[in-house]
């Protein structure tokens, strides 16, 4: 099993995993960690229910890029605006763009093209890696894509390959080819898988890693296990506690025993999940602790950022 790669050397990070595992939390913490190393970082969300602003203590984040922390910017991409921006870039003419894209039938057509909505978001995130400043340097050193949850995320990542398979030569195919080349290059791109030390997220993460490696051939750079508890009990103690009869009384001693039994079960599931992840994934996982305060606040994100490597 290999180790995770240094994400600071990448240009594009794709963060994905099962819904509810803390992808956006990891995006925020990773962005702050990279910014602390002097990197200019953009977090691109996919038309998400916006929570990043509360994590970073910024104003609400919409479809326009805005500064959210020192050396960190963010955008919550919306398909309609992303398509408009893509059309503007493609046509190099505001007049021609308005003539074409202000037509409701044309907009309806684009919305009906399979995968086009996903490509407008994925393609926009990739396009931000190509932006330059006046001095010719890249506008952002690293773009972090807060990708949709597992199933939808995989569908989104398949779109460039589908475009290359079915779309004739032209602007759309050219851009998809450039993006796909970057996504498959381990020197410039890395997929970050986020999971929890629980049975279902573990199984889904293992299946997702297999699809990324064998079907899409995308480089997995890091696996983050979020919400890891510090163990209180040994393996023998966990077995002994789980072997006790279910608590039915309501005394303080009964409540303490019930809490210990529940914690022992959770620790056992966590240990089994971490063992599976270590045995079945190509990279050793890294861990973020269970936070017993609200993780969606700036102080918690800053604490997690210090733990990102």
Query: How does pLDDT run across 69-122, given as a tens digit for each residue?
Result: 999 999 999 987 887 776 666 555 555 555 555 556 555 545 555 567 788 899
Range of the domain at 95: 7-230+274-305
Q: In the chain, how many domains are there?
A: 1
Helix residue ranges per DSSP H, the chain = 23-36, 52-56, 79-91, 94-101, 104-112, 116-128, 150-166, 171-183, 199-210, 235-242, 252-280, 298-305
d(C-alpha 30, C-alpha 44), whole Å: 13
Does the residue 222 lie in any domain? Answer: yes
Q: What is residue 9's predicted lDDT score, i.e. its pLDDT? A: 94
- What's 83's domain CATH number? 3.40.50.300
Does the residue 243 lie in any domain? Answer: no
Q: What is residue 225's predicted lDDT score, i.e. its pLDDT? A: 97
| Max mean pLDDT range (143-147, 152-156, 299-303) | 143-147
What percent of the chain has a predicted confidence (pLDDT) above 90? 64
Query: How does pLDDT run across 243-277, given as a tens digit for each residue?
Result: 887 777 789 888 888 899 999 999 999 999 999 99
- pLDDT surpasses 60 at 161: yes
- How far is residue 21 from each of residues 227, 276, 300, measured CA to CA in Å? 8, 17, 16
In the beta sheet, which residues pair with residue 195?
225
Does the residue 284 lie in any domain? Answer: yes
Does the residue 260 lie in any domain? Answer: no
């Amino acid at each position: 099993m290999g180790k995770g790669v240094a994400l600071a050397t990448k240009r594009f990070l794709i963060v994905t995993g099962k819904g509810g595992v803390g992808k956006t939390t990891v995006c925020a913490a990773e962005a702050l960690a990279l910014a602390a190393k002097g990197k200019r970082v953009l977090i691109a969300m996919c038309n998400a229910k916006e929570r990043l602003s509360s994590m970073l203590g910024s104003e609400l984040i919409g479809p326009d890029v805005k500064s959210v922390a020192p050396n960190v910017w963010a955008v919550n991409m919306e398909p309609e605006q992303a398509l408009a921006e893509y059309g503007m870039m493609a046509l190099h003419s505001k007049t021609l763009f308005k003539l074409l894209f202000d037509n409701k039938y044309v907009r309806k057509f684009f919305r009906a093209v399979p995968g086009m909505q996903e490509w407008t978001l994925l393609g926009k995130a990739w396009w931000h890696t190509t932006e330059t400043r006046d001095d010719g340097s890249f506008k952002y050193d690293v773009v972090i894509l807060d990708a949709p949850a597992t199933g939808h995320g995989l569908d989104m990542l398949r779109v460039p390959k589908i475009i290359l398979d079915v779309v004739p030569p032209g602007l759309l195919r050219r851009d998809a080819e450039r993006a796909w080349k970057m996504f498959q290059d381990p020197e410039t791109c890395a997929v970050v898988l986020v999971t929890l030390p629980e049975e279902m997220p573990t199984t889904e993460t293992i299946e997702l890693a297999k699809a990324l490696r064998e079907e899409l051939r995308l480089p997995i750079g890091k696996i983050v296990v979020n919400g890891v508890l510090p163990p209180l009990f040994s393996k023998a103690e966990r077995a002994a506690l789980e072997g006790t009869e279910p608590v039915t009384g309501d005394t303080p001693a009964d409540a303490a025993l019930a809490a210990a039994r529940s914690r022992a079960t959770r620790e056992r599931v966590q240990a089994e999940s971490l063992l599976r992840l270590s045995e079945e994934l190509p990279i050793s996982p890294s861990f973020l602790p269970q936070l017993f305060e609200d993780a969606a606040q700036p102080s918690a994100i800053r604490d997690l950022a210090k733990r990102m490597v």
